[in-house]
Structure 1
Amino acid sequence: MRFQKSKRLIAFFMVFAICLCSFSGTAAFAQTEISNLVLNKNEVSLEVGETFLLTATAIYTSGSTENVTVKTDWNSGASDIASVYAGSISAKKEGTAVITATYMDKTVVVNVKVSKRVRSLIKDVQTIDLRKGATKQIGLTAYYDDGTNEIVTNKAEWNIDNGSVATVVNGLVTGQSSGTATVTAKFNNQTVSVPVNIEIAKRVDPNVSEVSLLLKDDITITLTATYPDGSTKDVTDQADWDSEDPDVADVIKGKITGYGPGQTRVVATYGTKSTTIKVDVDNAVKLGLNKQTVMMKKNTTEPLTLTATYPDGSTDDITSRAEWTSSNEDVLSVVKGKLFANAAGEATVTAKYGGKSVTVVVDVDVPRRLLLSEDSLYVQSGQDHQLKLTAVYADNSTSEVTNDAKWTSDNEDVATVSKGNVTPRKAGEATIKAEYGDKSVTIKVSVDIPNLLVPNKKTVSFQMGSYEQMVLKALYTDGREVDVTNKADWTSSATNVAEVRNGLITGVGTGVATVTAKYGTRTAVVQVSVGVLKSLTTTSDTQFSMAKGSTKTIDLTATYTDGTANQVASEAMWTSSNASVVTVDAGVLKAIASGEADITASFENKTVTLNVSVDMADTLTAAPAFLSFDLGESRSIALTAKNKSGEAKNVTADAEWSTSNAQIAQVSAGVVTPVSRGKATVTAKYGGKSVSISIEIGVAQALDTDKKFLSVKRGQNAAIVLTATQSDGSKKDVSADAQWKSSNYKVAEISGGVVTAIGSGKATITGTFGGKSVTIPVEVDTLKYLKTNIILINIKQGASVEAKATATYSDLSEEDVTIPAMWSSSSIRVADVKDGVIKAISKGKATITVNYGDKRTYIYVTVD
């Protein structure tokens, strides 16, 4: 029985193995049948310059999957907007494109939207401070790489990190409740944020910062919030109130109540701001005086009343029971609240009772300011003048204190003073000072000093030998005008130019001098010029152009300070800074050669300078200012010169032409001839000016090909058209002129843009022209599939089976590759294979592998 069970078990496993092999063979066959092609994205949004990788997954009827991104055919419906290679999308310019992926007759499309690249996103609001229920609009402007901009407020994606504080819809922020939040806006690749404050006060202030209470006493504090916009609000009821020590004093909505002796602090908080109030609760009596300030006159008395307030609200007059003191007994004494004014000054009176004290400041004959009867004083010798001094007190009462004040003079040689009486001594100035109490006031006294000395003329001009009589008057504050010409002291700063005696000025030599008249402490001056040249002028322009060989006569006028004028061109000394360009003789200019020169005319101590240009250009312009062309062509440049008068002249043939690189381009009389491809600068010089023109010979701004990818078979040719975009925007087929290179000449060769397939494999073709390069991937003999005519075979030992291998290329053409394919067996003891002929050797199983190109397939063999 045990033997038979074992036999049945062995038979079961054999059947199971055969079924498993059959299932595996079927699965392998089914895997070649595709049911669906799936891409990782059906829609893609990109900015210009960005890339995105699409992946393609094949789902076979067997249920298995495979990444076939590389095997898939990818195409773009608008490669100028979005190109695709091996699933990689490259965004080129703004627009939409449809990408098509095809694999084993399955096609999937992907919609691609390309937008302009956002360089920056600018918000018009930096921070927001709102009250609850109020709104604020944020505006967004996108600035693109191409230099354009757009308002994208409604296109952006808006978010807020705390929706309970505020909400945001298309940039419109609405305050909901007190707090802070951050609004974020995102558009394409850019993000900006704006901090938001709702009902956030800038500060909060109580109406008092310190409170003194008796037991069971209370006081209500008012709390005011000030917002960033300057508005205020009573927030007493909305604030949070707290006491650091409720046993001393507690607080409810601003009402502070004293519960026990001591000190504490009450804190009021509103939003993010808080403030403190110092609270002092006392079980003892509270003292109060009937007067806060006291002003007294000397030798007078005045009573004070001291009152004590107790916790139960009762009061008591404790004037006679308190301890009274004065800070200055010489000024003020005090006995049981009665004040005695002893002398002028200030003292502080203190009343103490039961550990408490209260003070009051007392002024005795202390003025707030002193007033003099005069603001300034002008007196004559021998005439006394009485000043009056008035003291003004804090209660605005006044008293005359002329005789009580202290009077001083800072210059008693000029004036003395006694009890306000000023006695002038001699001409001059002195300052009188009056002092009373702790205040003082001053007045300036002028003795025999006029306010002003006025000559009849401030300037005198005449020729040598002439004279002028001056009249000098002294003006006083009382309106008097006194002729002091003969009383004043007259002096001249240059006696060799002008002499002066009793105001008579005489010219004795050419030049300038200052005549000064002095009377008392005042002086007056007169400016004198004798035979002095005031100006040297010409009616000619000081800057002009001349033609070579021409002449021009310049006039020259000398004007003197006395108003006379003479023509002095023939008498002046003329010089030229560049005689090889312009010569000058007695004001006659002659243009010799091209260039610039400064002509200077000198007469006495004056000069006139003229700037002369001969055949010189003020501006030099070239047309065109930029050239872009290729070998075999030539271009002409026109050169225009304008002189300082604005006259234009074509100087192309007269200019000096040069090139920065003669191996690239040569130039002669404005005609540019290309030598080789590259960049150079042509420079033209004329009339002291130069202008440069940039030259590009065969320089490409961009290269493009008509093919982005090539798939050919060995022996085939394929042409690539290479187009160059030049600096001026023109396009040119440069396939024959470009330099071509293959990364693998065993796979593909290239010449003149024509690709020749040599052997199977991959290569990259590179085309170079005008400093730019472009590459095109090339695949030769690229297989899509490799299959055999049989997948599962069961043969007897010693028998042979002939298998056939067929290759399917990317263009869906087929080829029998049985002979060129590589055949191998996983177990040559079971089955051997050569050129597709499978020979059974012994019982067992083997897997035949067929390799061709980059593909492989399998045949599963069972030998009975």
Structure 2
Amino acid sequence: MNCTPSKQSIQAIIQACLFVITLAGLTACGGNSADSDELIQSVILAEATDNGTTVESLNLFLQNGNDRIINENETAKLGATAILTNGSSSDATEAMSWSSSDPSILMESNGVLTGITKGTATLTGTIFTPNQITTELLINVSDAEIVPSSLEVLWPNPAPPCTTLSTQIRPVEFTDGTVRNVTEWATWSTSNATQAEIIALLPKEVDFVLYTDQEVAFNINVDDVDYPQFLTATEAPQVSVVLQDGGTLLASGETRSLQAISVYPANGAVTESIEQYLDWSSDFPSIASVENTNVTGVGSGETVIRGRCGDIEEEFATLSLDVISIDFEGIVFFIDDEEIGSGEISQYQIINIGDEETKIRAFADLGQFEVQLEDTEDWEVTSVDSSGSVSDIASIRYEEDHLLLTPLSAGKLEIKAFFDEDESDDDNALKEAVLKLEIK
């Protein structure tokens, strides 16, 4: 096999000499993107500050969507939107400073409200950057009770196993006549932690994962009342597995991350990386070992990496993996399309004055692979035999993975190319070879 990928790293070698499975356009849709959204909004607010834009007003709210009401012993996360003088808006929640007018009725801590006792209190929110703005919001603390004797949970459909799923409680009526979201207020649990896991409690939804295809019992507790719920996973999604950045080929001694992409239909194709939910193993640990979601080449040969989902018996995800040993055998040069063999590299190669630009390339010979060397600006070009400076003898242009040499006058040059065998600072891993040129 003779492959010539453009990356110098061993990882790139493998990817280039492989049938690469391309996962273009896959966007994880099942998980919580709140952190990334907050980061984006923080950047918007920071850019507004840099541009001289100021905050004109603030809108304060409860993130669970309830309208300025909270029950005794209930907690609720606060949110704030900054209206800027340029007409745009930005999430300002992370930039806010909060306080309650009466902590005996309504307590605030780190952007989370807690209802203490029935009454009314004023919540004050202040932002200091890019300018100081303060806004107040009147909050009612209620002692009302839930009217219905049961809760309706809006379970996802489909509900594939080993996939991030989201659910919420349908807003319920209280004895004070209000209809409210109690999803955040509720305490969620499962009867068997090996079959299901609650992974995130958000203001408007709960994220969870199923690790079984059997019926799972959930319990939802609201205001010290238990509401049992049951859910059975639907059929497993389609899962494709590759090594991180693509490919199914691994070098001995190399460690790569596994990537498992789940695809299932739900209002369109939903895709998600689910490798963290699977239990991974290797058919032949002496060829490739697996720890968590990382696979390491140990020997050489073929093995199958298997990902299991909880107690589901059917095979969930597999990767047929080839592990190869890579041995450095030297550096090979090419002048235009002519290879300079090992028997010729010690001799001067002739380039005639008047010739057009000559392309000079170098490859690391790794047995099964030849890897084109990059970073040509790090190569050393010197003149020998006191024949003049390099610039007197030839004009040289450094491209990403080759040199372009135009002969100018008679003389001798030596071009030294380097290959970093393991991309470390270890000088013993740095290999080199010299190409000798004579301009006539």
Tell whether the structures are fold-level matches, with TM greater than 0.5. Answer: no
TM-score calculated relative to the size of structure 2: 0.26
Higher relative contact order (CA 8 A, sep 6+): 2
Larger Rg: 1
Q: Indicate the structure with greater strand content.
A: 1
TM-score calculated relative to the size of structure 1: 0.15
